[in-house]
Amino acid sequence: MIAQPQRQAGSVSVVEVSLGDRSYPILVGRGVAAEAGSRVAALGVRAVGLVTDETVGPLHGGAVEASLSAAGLRVVRATVPAGEGSKRFDRLDALCETLLAGRLERGDAVLALGGGVVGDLAGFAAAILLRGIRFVQVPTTLLAQVDSSVGGKTGINARAGKNLVGAFHQPALVLADTALLDTLSPREMRAGYAETVKYGLIGDPDFYAWCEAQWRDVLAGGAARDRAVVESCRAKAAVVARDEREDGDRALLNLGHTFGHALERAVGYDGARLVHGEGVAIGMAQAFRFSARLGLCPPEDALRVERHLATVGLPTRPAQVPGGIGTAGTLMDAMAQDKKVRAGRLTFILAHGIGRSVVVRDVSPDDLRTFLEDDLRT
Amino acid sequence: MIAQPQRQAGSVSVVEVSLGDRSYPILVGRGVAAEAGSRVAALGVRAVGLVTDETVGPLHGGAVEASLSAAGLRVVRATVPAGEGSKRFDRLDALCETLLAGRLERGDAVLALGGGVVGDLAGFAAAILLRGIRFVQVPTTLLAQVDSSVGGKTGINARAGKNLVGAFHQPALVLADTALLDTLSPREMRAGYAETVKYGLIGDPDFYAWCEAQWRDVLAGGAARDRAVVESCRAKAAVVARDEREDGDRALLNLGHTFGHALERAVGYDGARLVHGEGVAIGMAQAFRFSARLGLCPPEDALRVERHLATVGLPTRPAQVPGGIGTAGTLMDAMAQDKKVRAGRLTFILAHGIGRSVVVRDVSPDDLRTFLEDDLRT
């Protein structure tokens, strides 16, 4: 008798994103990337545009391509430079031409193998190639697994700001292989952790407390890491299912992001100085400090958030960004270009406490400026 | 007593495109562009990105801008070069940056004032700016009024082929001002007429017969022109409402387009040699000749179509394209890149007769080659 390959029971968790005829599963677990071929073939796809970057490609590209080929899928490979600089129109143009030259058809798919940049760029290409073909995410960073690969936001940056050009294009499948995270640097893991703990801060004080207790195991790997990814995907899926296009409370997911994006913009998206998750960490700490200052949130909650992020090794203050980030005016100008601006008014995600975030649509520019001026001094 | 402005009863027709919460009206009539300001303001928009080209801008841009401003809307103007060359990534990039620099927000709108190129480019920009803002069409060519401004197809060209990159993004409003057509050249009017008569050929033999009788008045203006625009919009709206994303019989609207796109590609999209509507005219004649040859359609119907198009002054044979269009092989290669290719098979819109078009999904490459070889000789 020939032995069948063993599948460990319970090793793969499935989180369903419920969006009617655009619903899709997120598979979480060690080794799920090896199922890419069979899972994508089951979608009825014949050819796959495998998009990765120069860092991830050599690490994991061969295995994913082999899985796709073994399932009888034709693979069109496209590799982009690693880093935020690939989220540009000219890179999108080149990527689209590469995939079209590979003769992808309407029934085919684009598969993103990489972090948030690859997912955002490849997903946007999938959204606009032939006016939209299917999209599969195989996120390789913690940040992408818990955040950017779920929910259908895709896009590139503009001179005027980050993610200002893009599309809502839901994936047909997400394979979050937690074993792929073993190759991440500690800094990347921490940055992804910031987006993980965010779900606790938004609406789940128990998950936040669990994070405070388990963060070392989340970063180290094993069952705690899988659980953190599953809980994060569940939290995000619930919000996305309620409000796919961010007309309402999907905006809560932007906790820390209005501040964070302004910081990223102030450093010119220089990842050596500040990666996205670090910007979000500072931004979440700022959102809680600002909430406390406005009397919305108990000051002890703001302190507790700041203490936990600092314990993990994340920055919590703009002054910690190497080289500084300019003045309050610099940050306010950057915020004025944010997509979340409505009718010229700034929308912030603030908090009544840990796990009690709220959308505040009409923040006073004076309050904001005074807060930022003080916050930049400390 | 102060006299109220008069509105001639019956001068404006409204065609509704029924797409659930994305339904929108098409207003057809002489002078409806003057209503742009009040109609767009009624959508709740505060600022408008007014996109036009270097030909249309000087003719009609001032009047539309004045109408928008008079309604209290802030106008961000963007002008692109006239012609198919503007449907490129670098032009899209520049347009997006211009509109973002003008601080358009999520609740604002892009208004396309121009022909198909401006509509396709500006509509695509609206689809991807801030992941999608509202879009208003004020088509200024007959072709755009009867075809490209209705149905939500937007996009740009790729090196691999025409319209291979884009989005489905329905407008919120279409203002088809038939008085604007008075400035068109006879060649442009004829090109647009090809798309008009197409609706008769697809599914309405009575409208086709009406076109045969009334085509001079359609081109000359007046009530026949308005009726031709209204009937065309109605026909297209009905198809789009049934099949928004072209999963099924929306493909019928591509009658003449698989052949036509291949011809356009063969001349390098050189509008001096062949404009889109002329390609469609030849393509429709080819589709009927090919249908007759395959025994699908009575030969006399193919002759009748060819005769009418020629009477109007439209080309019906590839050999009529100045400079020639290459061999059957050239055209077949161009067709192989068509979006309508599925699983490597060519889909054609063929006909059982006038007003009886059908989608044929599995055309034999041998039949096609033999037909093209003969067709190129005549």
ipTM score of complex = 0.89
User: Quick check: B100 and A46 CB within 8 A?
Assistant: no
Taking the C-alpha atoms of residue B156 and residue B158, their distance in angstroms, rounded to an integer, is 7
Higher pLDDT, A21 or A80: A80
A-B contacts (CB, under 8 Å): 108
Give how far Cα A219 sits from Cα of A15, A167, A204, B310, Å: 21, 32, 20, 73
Which is it for strands B173-177 and B134-139: parallel, antiparallel or unpaired?
parallel
Is A163 among the residues known to form the active site? no
pLDDT of residue A344: 64
CB B241 within 8 A of CB B295: no
Residue B110 backbone dihedrals phi, psi, to 5 degrees: -105, 135
How many residues are given for chain A? 378
Q: Residue B314: which region, alpha, beta or left (left: phi > 0; alpha: psi -120 to 50)? A: beta
Structure tokens at A343: 């009718």
Task: Chain B: give the shortest CA distance to residue A53, in Å.
Answer: 22
Structure tokens at B271: 């509008």
Give how far Cα B319 sits from Cα of A131, B86, B113, B185, B374, Å: 32, 28, 34, 23, 11
- Measured between CA atoms, the residue of chain B closest to residue A169 is B131
pLDDT of residue B1: 36
Structure tokens at A226: 């899988």
A176 three-state secondary structure: strand
CB B162 within 8 A of CB B204: no
Residues of A in contact with B73 (CB under 8 A): none
pLDDT of residue B53: 98
Higher pLDDT, A21 or A196: A196
Burial per residue of B302-338, b for 16 or more beta-carbon CB atoms within 10 angstroms, e otherwise? bebbbebbeebebbbbbeebeeebbebebbeebbebb
Count of C-beta atoms within a 10 Å radius of residue A343: 13
Residues of A in contact with B131 (CB under 8 A): 153, 155, 166-168, 245, 339
pLDDT of residue B334: 84
pLDDT of chain B, 378 residues: tens digit per residue: 333 333 443 489 999 999 998 999 999 999 999 999 999 999 999 999 999 999 999 999 999 999 999 999 999 999 999 988 999 999 999 999 999 999 999 999 999 999 999 999 999 999 999 999 999 999 999 999 999 999 999 999 998 888 999 999 999 999 999 999 999 999 999 999 999 999 999 999 999 999 999 999 999 988 999 999 999 999 999 999 998 888 788 889 999 999 998 999 899 888 899 999 999 999 999 999 999 999 999 999 999 999 999 999 999 999 999 998 889 998 998 887 666 655 567 889 999 999 999 999 889 999 999 999 999 988
pLDDT of residue B247: 79
B7-183: CATH topology is Rossmann fold (3.40.50)
User: Quick check: B160 and A97 CB within 8 A?
Assistant: yes
User: Quick check: B107 and A343 CB within 8 A?
Assistant: yes
CB B40 within 8 A of CB B74: no
Scanning chain B, the segments in alpha helix (DSSP H) are 36-41, 56, 62-70, 89-101, 116-128, 142-143, 186-203, 205-220, 223-242, 257-266, 276-293, 299-312, 328-336, 365-377
Q: Which of A257, A265, A289, A340 is catalytic?
A: A257
Residues of A in contact with B153 (CB under 8 A): 131
pLDDT bin (cut points 50, 70, 90) of residue A9 is: very low
CB B181 within 8 A of CB B224: no
Taking the C-alpha atoms of residue A316 and residue A283, their distance in angstroms, rounded to an integer, is 7
Sequence letter at residue B206: D
Taking the C-alpha atoms of residue B92 and residue A373, their distance in angstroms, rounded to an integer, is 38
Residue B84 backbone dihedrals phi, psi, to 5 degrees: -55, -25
Interface of B with A (CB under 8 A): 46, 89-90, 92-93, 96-97, 100-101, 103, 105-107, 124, 127-132, 153, 155, 158-161, 164-168, 245, 336-337, 339, 341-344
- Measured between CA atoms, the residue of chain A closest to residue B344 is A105
When pLDDT is averaged across residues A280-299 and rounded to a whole number, the result is 98
Going from N- to C-terminal start, the domains of chain A cover 7-183, 186-376
pLDDT of residue A2: 39
Task: Chain A: give the shortest CA distance to residue B148, in Å.
Answer: 15
Task: Chain A: give the shortest CA distance to residue B150, in Å.
Answer: 16
Of B132, B158, B166, the CB nearest to A100: B158
Is A261 among the residues known to form the active site? yes
pLDDT of residue A338: 67
pLDDT of residue A114: 98
pLDDT of residue A343: 57
Sequence letter at residue A171: P
Is pLDDT at A1 greater than 70 in this prediction? no
DSSP type of residue B6: P
Interface of A with B (CB under 8 A): 46, 89-90, 92-93, 96-97, 100-101, 103, 105-107, 124, 127-132, 153, 155, 158-161, 164-168, 245, 336-337, 339, 341-344
Q: Which of B39, B169, B261, B340 is catalytic?
A: B261
For A186-376, give the CATH class: mainly alpha
CB B249 within 8 A of CB B359: yes
Residue in the structure block whose two tokens are 């935020």: A84
